[in-house]
Amino acid sequence: MCIRNCPVITYDIEVFPNVFHCCCKNTETGQLYKFELSERKRDLISLVYFFMEKNVIFCGYNNKHYDDVIINYIIYHYGILIHKSIEQVCESLYNLSNAVIKATTMEEISKFKKWKYAHYFYSMDLLTMQFSSKLRVSLKSMQVTMHYKNVQEYDGDFGAYLPVYEIDKMIAYNINDVESTEELLNRLQKDIKIRLFIQDEYGIDALSMDSVKFGETILAKKYCEATGISMNELKEMRSPMDYIPLKDVIFPFIKYKNPELQAVLEEMKGQIVYSKERKGYEKKFVLSNTVYSIGVGGIHSLNKPKIFRPGPDEYIGHSDVALKIWRQ
């Protein structure tokens, strides 16, 4: 696949206390590239030069929050790492990997922030493209969801030293992840086209943004254009609420003729949503033989899993909630 005339290279890394491996695949030519740092190989120079190649787009799954950080670190410290022993290099990468995986606070993230937001190479992230932060799933779960031909889980210990005789087995696992990422990339061509349109229309790099994120970004950009303030100034204007009484944000003209719906509405008006307890309110009710659940995240119907197989002249579709406002 090419995007903007640039070949897309899917990639994934594996990090152990004594071994580092990066597998890349050119989705246009099908060629695999493997870079290994271990007691048997030292591909540090070729790895750095490969990622510094211009006019290519690297593509991963969760790479913006993990793989890119490690590769940027290697490029940033290349002048130092080149003079270190392979044991020291792998230990350094392993410590960084653990820091990235375990980071939960802004203070912990700030320790590797310079490599997280570095721009030594251009990349896109299929995880952040599809899901907001609350809905993200692992690559293995995604392989299952898309019925990938080979859902493979590594059965070793990433926290233990990897024996030399196990390295090739790990590499096979690494290659499988890269090829499943390529499969997902091919299935997301329509999503990519939408984001390229947004880039042309609004000047926003949206390839790694989910639909909510690029919607927010477009609104913020339009607001800045209308008011003349900068994006940084807009961010400083944010004022998070510790709590929100729903009666203050539900429009007064909203009402229902159906008693069941009106009762739900009145109950919601009496709720207070707290920032630290976003999932604190949930109401289930039955309407027209369908069970609904309404909460802070919206309204959804609750259905048992079913399999629908359309006939040759049938079409399966679904509809979301439609809102109609009748004006007197």
DSSP calls for 188-227? THHHHHHHHHHHHHH----TT--HHHHHHHHHHHHHHHHH
Angle of helix 189-202 relative to helix 211-227, nearest 10 degrees? 10
DSSP state of 163: P
The percentage of residues in the chain with a pLDDT greater than 70, rounded to a whole number, is 92
The average confidence (pLDDT) of the chain is 87
Q: Per residue, what are the HEC states of 24-60?
A: EEECCCCCEEEEEECCCCECHHHHHHHHCCCCCEEEE
- Class for domain 2-208, per CATH? alpha beta
Supply the pTM of this predicted model: 0.74
Determine the pLDDT at residue 310: 86
Angle of helix 86-102 relative to helix 67-76, nearest 10 degrees? 140
pLDDT tens profile 241-253: 778 888 888 888 9
Per this entry, what is the length of the chain? 328
Cα 229 from Cα 224, distance rounded (Å): 5
Segment 99-118 shows an average pLDDT of 88
Higher pLDDT, 155 or 326: 155
Q: Where in the chain is the domain with CATH 3.30.420?
A: 2-208
Determine the pLDDT at residue 134: 65
Segment 68-72 shows an average pLDDT of 95
Residue 154: both structure tokens together: 């590594």
